[in-house]
Amino acid sequence: MKIEILGAGCSRCEKLFRKVNKVIKENNIEAEVIKIDDIKETMRYGIMMTPGLVINKKLKTSVNVPSEKEILKFIKEEI
C-alpha cells in the first residue's frame, strides 16, 4: 500500500504525516508513507489547498486533517 501526504510542509501536513504513521504502526499495517511537496504533483489530484491524503493513487481527503479513526477507515477501504 502506498500512502501519500500532499503538501509543502505546513503544520497541518506534518500533523497528517504523523497521524498516518501512528495509525499504520498501531494497526500493524504494511504501507509506504511518503510526503509529496511538489506543487505539480499535488495539482494532479485537483486540490487547491493542502494537506491531501492519497492512498493507492486515490484522493481520500484534502484541506482538513482527518481523525485517526477516519484515517484507519480510509486505509481499510484500500486493503
List residues with catalytic annotation. Answer: 10, 13
- Residue 44, C-alpha cell as written in the block: 494532479
* Rounded Cα distance, 48 and 39, in Å: 10
